A and B are shown apart, each in its own frame.
Chain A
Amino acid sequence: MGMTMTQKILAAAAGLERVEAGQLTEAKLDLVLGNDITSPVAIHEMDKFTEDRVFDRDKIALVMDHFIPNKDIKSAEHCKCVREFACKHDITNYFDVGQMGIEHALLPEQGLTVAGDVIIGADSHTCTYGALGAFSTGVGSTDMAAGMATGRAWFKVPSAIKFNLTGKPAEWVSGKDVILHIIGMIGVDGALYKSMEFVGDGIAHLSMDDRFTIANMAIEAGGKNGIFPVDEKAVAYMKEHSKREFRIYEADADAVYDEEYTIDLSSLKPTVAFPHLPENTRTTDEITEDIIIDQAVIGSCTNGRMDDLRAAAEILKGHKVKKGVRCIVIPATQAIYLQAMEEGLLKIFIEAGAVVSTPTCGPCLGGYMGILAEGERCISTTNRNFVGRMGHVKSEVYLASPAVAAASAVTGRISAPAELGL
Chain B
Amino acid sequence: MFKYGDNVDTDVIIPARYLNSSDPAELATHCMEDIDREFINKVHKGDIIVAEKNFGCGSSREHAPIAIKAAGVSCVIAETFARIFYRNAINIGLPIIECPEASKGIEAGDEVEIDFDSGVIYDRTKGTSFQGQAFPEFMQKIIRAEGLINYINQK
Contacts and interface: CB of A to CB of B under 8 A. Distances in A.
A148 to B, nearest CB: 11
B82 to A, nearest CB: 6
Interface in B38-85: 53-54, 57-63, 65-66, 80, 82-84
Nearest to A37: B19
B100 interface: no
A138 B60 contact: yes
B87 A140 contact: yes
B16 A367 contact: yes
A149 B16 contact: no
Given A41-B62, A366-B17, A188 B87 contact: no
Nearest to A366: B16
A321 B52 CA distance: 42
Contact of B16 (A24, A139, A365, A393): A365
B16 to A, nearest CB: 4
Contact of B84 (A44, A139, A388): A139
B22 to A, nearest CB: 5
B12 interface: yes
Given A189-B54, A365-B59, A224 B136 contact: no
A20 to B, nearest CB: 14
B11 A384 contact: yes
Given A146-B152, A387-B11, A38 B82 contact: no
Chain A interface helix/strand/loop/mixed: loop
A192 B82 CA distance: 7
Q: Size class of B's contact patch?
A: 35 or more
A71 B17 CA distance: 11
B87 to A, nearest CB: 6
B53 A140 contact: no
A93 interface: no
B83 A122 contact: no
A64 to B, nearest CB: 13
B13 to A, nearest CB: 10
Nearest to B12: A387
B120 interface: no
B49 to A, nearest CB: 17
B147 A38 contact: no
B58 A386 contact: yes
Contacts of B134: none
Interface in A247-293: 277
A99 interface: no
Interface string B1-42: 000000101011001110111100000000000110000000
Contacts of B80: 189, 192
A75 B65 CA distance: 21
Nearest to B63: A41
Contacts of B65: 140
Contact of B88 (A75, A142, A146, A154): A142
B149 A150 contact: no
Given A67-B20, A386-B12, A388-B11, A189 B62 contact: no
A71 B148 CA distance: 32
A50 B153 CA distance: 7
Contacts of B54: 188-189, 192, 222
B62 A49 contact: no
Contacts of A24: 136, 138
Contacts of A37: 16, 19, 61, 63
Interface string A162-194: 000000000000000000000000001100110
A48 B149 contact: yes
13 contacts: A72-B20, A122-B60, A139-B87, A142-B62, A142-B91, A142-B92, A142-B148, A146-B148, A219-B84, A277-B7, A365-B11, A387-B9, A387-B12
Given A37-B16, A189-B53, 11 more contacts: A38-B61, A123-B60, A124-B84, A140-B65, A140-B88, A146-B91, A146-B149, A149-B152, A189-B82, A366-B11, A367-B16
Interface of A: 24, 37-38, 40-41, 44-45, 48-50, 66-67, 71-72, 74-75, 78, 122-124, 126, 138-143, 145-146, 149-150, 154, 188-189, 192-193, 219, 222, 224, 277, 365-367, 384, 386-389, 393
